[in-house]
Amino acid sequence: MYTKIPATITRILLNHFKWDKEKLMERFYDGDQDKLFKDAHVINPFRKQSIALKPKIKKSRTEDCEICYSTFPPSMMTGLECGHRFCTQCWQEYLTTKIVEEGLGLSIACAAHGCDILVDDVTVMRLVQDARVRLKYQHLITNSFVECNRLLRWCPSADCTYAIKVQYVDPRPVVCKCNHVFCFECGENWHDPVQCRLLKKWIKKCDDDSETSNWIAANTKECPKCNVTIEKDGGCNHMVCKNQNCKHDFCWVCLGSWEPHGSSWYNCNRYDEDEARAARDAQEKLRSTLARYLHYYNRYINHMQSLKFEHKLYAAVKEKMEEMQQHNMSWIEVQFLKKAVDILCQCRQTLMCTYVFAYYLKKNNQSQIFEENQKDLETATETLSEYLERDITSENLADIKQKVQDKYRYCEKRRKVLMDHVHEGYEKDWWEYTN
C-alpha cells in the first residue's frame, strides 16, 4: 500500500525514531497510527481537517494575535496544522529565542500555551529572516540528525566538522577525512585491545575524585575515638586529636591509646596487637590498592604523553628526510623514517591501552603471557623511539637506517603477536576481570 505523508512530517517522524526507518514503518503499518503521530507531536495528516482549529476571523477581515494582542490582516498571520495562529513578528521573535538562546532545532513546539505540536523545518526557514539565525538553525538540525542516527557519528577530533557513516554499528576503527582514527562505538581514540566498556570505566575512574579519596585514606588516619581524619605532619608518633570535643591521645603507628606507651604495658611493637590490628590492615589494604592503581595509571599516562611527543616527531623526521636526501638518497629511500614514526605511534597507542586492559585483568596463565608480550613490545618501542631521536650524519647514515628498519619491523611483529593473543582470549573466554 502506498501512503503519501508530507516530507516535513516524515522528517519529524524519522527524527522521533532516531532515523530507524524499519522501526517507523513497523509502527506505522502495524500499530496505532493516532498514537504514533501523537507521540511524535505532529497532527495526523489523514485527520487534520477534523482536528485543526478554524481561524477566528472578524467581520472586518482581521485576526487577533494572542501573543502581542494586536490586530492583523490574515495575510500577516501564520499557524501550524494545530490551528494556532500568531502574527509573523511574534513567530520570528519566538523562533529566534528558541534557536539562539535555547539551542533548539527539531524540538521547537508551537508557540501556543500547552500545545506540543512541533514546528517543522520548512515553516521555521520561511518565518526566520535573520541569516545568522537561519544558519544556526541549519547547524542544529544537522547536528540533531547526526546524533539521532545510530549509523552516524561526528568525528571527535578538535576543529573537525566531518561526520562518519557506517553500514552497521560495531566497536571498530573508522578513519575520518581529517585522518583521525577513532572507535565508532564509543567515539574515543581507537583503543584495541581494551573493550569500550572497560575504557569508559577507566576514564571515569581517572576523572573521578575517588582516587583523591584513596590518597587521603592511604596518607591519613582517623582518630580511633571520634573518627576525625588526621594527617601526620611531624616525626613524633604521639598524636592529639584536633577535635575540640575529643582531644584523644593515641599512637599513630598502632592507633592504640597513648597512655600505655610510656609504661610497662607498652606493646606497640607487637604485630598482632588486638586493639590496632584491624586498623593497620585497613590502612595497608588502601595503600596496596592505591599503589596498584598508580602503577597502571603512571604507565598509561607516560605512553599518552610520549604519543603526543611522537606526533611532534613527524616535523623533525621531515627535516631528517630532507637532510638524508642531501646525502645522495632518493625520496623513496628516505620514506622508511616516516614509516617508522607511523609504527611508533601505533605501538604507543596500543601500549597505552594495554595498561587499561591489564588493570582490570585477573591473574592467570594467559595474563602472564600477555604481560610478557606487553614487555617485549614496550622494550622494542622504547628502542625504536631512541633511534629516531638520534642525529643523522653522513657517518652513521647506513647504520641508523638498517637499525631503524629492523626495529620497526620487529615492533610491528610484536604488536601483532600481542593483539592476536588478546583477541584469541576474547574468542576463547580466557580473560576474567576484577570488579
Other CB atoms closer than 10 Å to residue 376's CB: what's the count? 17
Is residue 246 annotated as part of the catalytic site, yes or no? Answer: no
Residue type for position 62: T
The CA-to-CA distance between both ends of the chain, in Å, stands at: 53
Residues written for the chain = 435
Residue type for position 256: G
- Which DSSP state fits 17? T
Catalytic residue chosen out of the listed positions 176, 236, 353, 411: 236
Residue 36 forms beta bridges with which residues?
A: none
| Three-class SS state of 85 | strand
Compute the distance between CA of residue 194 and CA of residue 185 in angstroms, rounded to an integer. 13
Q: In angstroms, what CA-CA distances link 193 with 168, 184, 205, 357, 409?
A: 21, 15, 19, 7, 20
Contact 400, 331 (CB under 8 A): no
Residue type for position 232: K
Contact 273, 264 (CB under 8 A): no
Residue type for position 107: S
Other CB atoms closer than 10 Å to residue 332's CB: what's the count? 7
Which of 348, 338, 335, 422 lies closest to 380, judged by CA? Answer: 348
Which of 101, 105, 103, 94 lies closest to 127, judged by CA? Answer: 94
Q: What DSSP element (H or E) covers 240? A: strand 238-240
Which of 267, 250, 270, 247 lies closest to 259, judged by CA? Answer: 250
* 322-325: Cβ within 8 A, 24+ apart: 323/392, 324/392, 324/397
Residue type for position 161: T
Rg (CA), the chain: 34
Burial profile 135-164: b = 16 or more Cβ within 10 angstroms, e = fewer: ebbeebbeeebbebbeeebebeeeeeeebb
Residue 222 forms beta bridges with which residues?
A: 229
Residue with cell 611483529: 413
Compute the distance between CA of residue 43 and CA of residue 36 in angstroms, rounded to an integer. 10
Task: Give catalytic residues, as residue numbers.
Answer: 236
